[in-house]
């Protein structure tokens, strides 16, 4: 049973001043049950880049990850395997995961080829998934690439548009980048537009972690196709701080899995002249709708925020919600990482240093963010532009859209404690490396 809550940064407004504050919406999933549970059937297509740059260990690791997913499927799940270089080929047509030996043998026979027609590989996989899509299945394309889309359709806007259009039909896309030379902007935006996830591994040994994380997420998803709706009075100015697709008043949120919290953080502004009234002020009403594990559409109860304007002394005594403070720090760290990435791309390492230092100062009491910033500082010190750009982009994307755990503490961070969580809830120190 999910639980939808709406909370304000502080339980009152400041009378006589302009107010800028935050409201956090959360949809909380129950904890993982101990007994065997049913899940939605999976309808997946794995898309493997077999271009020349994947020759050798990278391709072998990709094949290993694909085989791991095949071995983890139930007989009721569907799987297809696509490869692409100059052209896209169906290695395994969509089939139920019953005769796994034949599927694994087909994967093992994959060899490296030529260029990188990423779009054709993705499109062929999408067609395989769409052909067997049902209202109750999780339908996803898993796309791996270690390079740039350099033949076929290469326009990022058009590819992202197609990912978004397909997601509207219920077929989503997750992406996996490998190494230093893939197009991180394309891969992250495909995952975002396709309502899936985006991962990367710096080296081949880092690739298995994101594949396991994705399968862990898919296997434990209990709510999909989440949409949050908000309504508020005319005198309120509202901004969503996550990177979710949609527009006011409706946005699409990430899928929800056991033990996690899907969240949306809003920044609201109210001018002083609109608070010349007594009593509580209606600020925001919201609800979330989603598709449950049985494929039925569910709408949460409508929650609302009403706040009373109080004087400075009373307002100064109010305690800030600690969870909202943590989410503010995360989206702020994401914004500063974006600034640092753009500066690194133009070679302005002084601006990079300034942005990292500012992020460290603003997250002085957030142990995970500070740990995360260490890798960026290291890449900045050695002027590793590609490594810096990829880590900053993937880290910022995760800060804005991750499933949060209901049992985490922002002041403390321990790899040992993170490792006992489901993989999709772990706060990694570095997105491109295995934990």
Any domain includes 88: yes
Confidence (pLDDT) at 357: 98
> Alpha-carbon Rg of the chain, whole angstroms?
23
- Buried b / exposed e along 128-167 (16+ C-beta atoms within 10 A): bbbebeeeebbbbbbbbbbbbbebbebeeeebbebbbebb
In a domain, 212, yes or no: no
pLDDT reading at 127 higher than 90? yes
Residue 432 domain-assigned (yes or no)? no
Q: What is the mean pLDDT of residues 164-185?
A: 94
Is pLDDT at 275 greater than 80 in this prediction?
Answer: no
Examine residue 214 and state whether it is found in any structural domain, yes or no: no
Residues 132 and 280 occupy one common structural domain: no
Kindly report, residue by residue over 35-44, the tens digit of the pLDDT: 656 789 999 9
Is there a single domain that holds both residue 239 and residue 264?
Answer: yes
Does residue 67 carry a pLDDT above 80?
A: yes
- pLDDT tens per residue, range 345-355: 999 999 999 99
Q: How much is the pLDDT for 36?
A: 54
Residue 399 lies in a domain: yes
Give the domain CATH number at 387. 1.20.120
The pLDDT of residue 409 is 83
Domain-embedded: residue 118: yes
Which CATH number do you get for residue 158?
3.40.50.410
Query: Is the pLDDT assigned to residue 137 strictly greater than 80?
Result: yes
- End of a domain among 286, 308, 330? 308
Q: Do residues 68 and 172 both lie within one domain?
A: yes
Q: Are residues 46 and 185 in the same domain?
A: yes
Total of domains in the chain: 3
User: Considering the chain, what is the average pLDDT of its residues?
Assistant: 94
The domain in which residue 106 lies consists of: 42-206
- Residue pLDDT, tens place only, 215-267: 999 999 999 999 999 999 999 999 999 999 999 999 999 999 999 999 999 99
The predicted pLDDT at position 276 comes to 65
Residue 52 confidence (pLDDT) above 80: yes
Indicate whether 216 belongs to any domain.
no
pLDDT at position 424: 97
**Residues 265 and 297 occupy one common structural domain:** yes
Counting residues of the chain whose pLDDT is more than 90, the rounded percentage is 88
148 and 245 fall within a common domain: no
260 alpha-carbon distance from chain centroid? 13
**Res 369 pLDDT > 70:** yes
């Amino acid at each position: 049973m999910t639980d939808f809550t709406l909370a304000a940064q502080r339980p009152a407004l400041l009378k006589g001043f302009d107010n800028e504050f935050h409201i956090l919406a959360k949809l909380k999933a129950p904890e993982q049950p101990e007994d065997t549970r049913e899940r939605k059937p999976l309808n997946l297509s794995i898309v493997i880049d077999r271009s020349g740059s994947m020759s050798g260990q990278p391709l072998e690791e990709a094949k290993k990850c694909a085989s791991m997913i095949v071995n983890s499927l139930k007989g009721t799940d569907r799987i297809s395997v696509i490869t692409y270089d100059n052209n896209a080929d169906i290695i395994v047509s969509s089939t139920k995961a019953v005769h796994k030996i034949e599927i694994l043998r087909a994967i093992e026979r994959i060899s490296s080829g030529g260029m990188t027609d990423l779009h054709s590989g993705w499109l062929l996989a999408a067609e395989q998934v769409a052909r067997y899509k049902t209202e109750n299945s999780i339908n996803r394309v898993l796309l791996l690439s270690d390079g740039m889309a350099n033949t076929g359709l290469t326009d990022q806007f058009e590819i992202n548009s197609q990912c978004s259009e397909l997601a509207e039909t219920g077929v989503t896309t997750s992406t996996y980048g490998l190494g230093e030379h893939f197009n991180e902007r394309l891969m992250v935006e495909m995952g975002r537009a396709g309502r899936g996830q985006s991962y990367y591994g710096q080296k081949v040994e880092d690739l298995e972690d994101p594949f396991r994380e994705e399968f862990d997420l898919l296997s434990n998803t209990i709510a999909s196709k989440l949409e949050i709706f908000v309504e508020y009075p005319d005198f309120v100015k509202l901004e969503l701080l996550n990177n979710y697709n949609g527009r006011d008043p409706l946005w699409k949120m990430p899928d929800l899995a056991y033990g996690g919290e899907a969240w949306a953080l809003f920044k609201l502004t109210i001018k002083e002249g609109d608070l010349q009234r007594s009593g509580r002020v209606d600020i925001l009403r919201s609800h979330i709708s989603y598709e449950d594990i049985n494929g039925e559409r569910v709408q949460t109860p409508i929650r609302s925020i009403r706040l009373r304007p109080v004087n400075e002394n009373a307002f100064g005594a109010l305690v800030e919600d600690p969870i909202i403070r943590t989410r503010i720090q995360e989206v702020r760290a994401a914004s500063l990482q974006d600034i640092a990435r753009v500066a690194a791309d133009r070679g302005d390492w002084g601006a990079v240093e300034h942005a990292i230092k500012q992020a460290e100062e603003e997250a002085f009491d957030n142990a995970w963010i500070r740990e995360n910033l260490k890798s960026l500082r290291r890449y900045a010190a050695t002027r590793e532009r590609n490594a810096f750009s990829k880590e900053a982009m993937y880290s910022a994307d995760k800060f804005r859209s991750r499933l949060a755990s209901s049992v985490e503490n922002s002041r403390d961070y321990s790899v040992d404690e993170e490792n006992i969580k489901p993989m999709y809830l772990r706060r990694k120190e570095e997105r491109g490396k295995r934990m």
